[in-house]
Amino acid sequence: MKVPAALADLPQPLYFFDGQCVLCSRFVAFCLARDPDGHLKFASAQSALGRRALLALGLPDDTLDRTILLLEDGRVYTRSTAALRALRHLRGPARWLYPLVLIPKILRDPLYDIVARNRIRWFGRLESCLVPSPQTRDRFIDL
């Protein structure tokens, strides 16, 4: 789907994630460490910007509790596609996983959904949202 006009002012690529999920926060930290040029920007699902994005996209309030969003090149990507597209901005071997996007979503997304449903049980929940370091603070646009 295309990025709606109400979100056109946001920097892209912009990755929305659950800031209280340990797995999600670790993925963001993984991306930060491998994106020294700062291509990817981040926003937590719990932020006012996260709520604004859901409203503009016409998605239910709990959408970001079970999926991630990536705004990139004027389009909105979700679930496994969002995660794989985020990897292509990284340096090193992690970006080699991007070609998995060629596997049809009908095969990728059920695996994503299993992890998404169980991520809190398997990895835990943070007491508060991820707090970026002073060196990466400018990468989080919702602070």
Q: Are 95 and 35 in contact (CB under 8 A)?
A: no
Report the 10 Å Cβ neighbour count for 19: 23
**Single pTM value for the model:** 0.88
Given a cut of 60, is residue 143 above it in pLDDT? no
Summarised one tens digit per residue, pLDDT across range 39-55 is 999 998 888 998 899 88
Phi-psi region of 103 (alpha: psi -120 to 50; beta: other; left: phi over 0): beta
Q: Reply yes or no: is the peptide bond before residue 132 cis, omega within 30 of 0.
A: no
Report the 10 Å Cβ neighbour count for 128: 8
Summarised one tens digit per residue, pLDDT across range 83-125 is 999 999 999 999 899 999 999 999 999 999 999 889 889 988 8
Given a cut of 70, is residue 129 above it in pLDDT? no
User: What average pLDDT score do residues 69-92 get?
Assistant: 94
Given a cut of 80, is residue 12 above it in pLDDT? yes
Summarised one tens digit per residue, pLDDT across range 17-27 is 888 888 888 89
> Which positions ≥6 away from 46 have C-beta within 8 Å?
18, 19, 20, 129
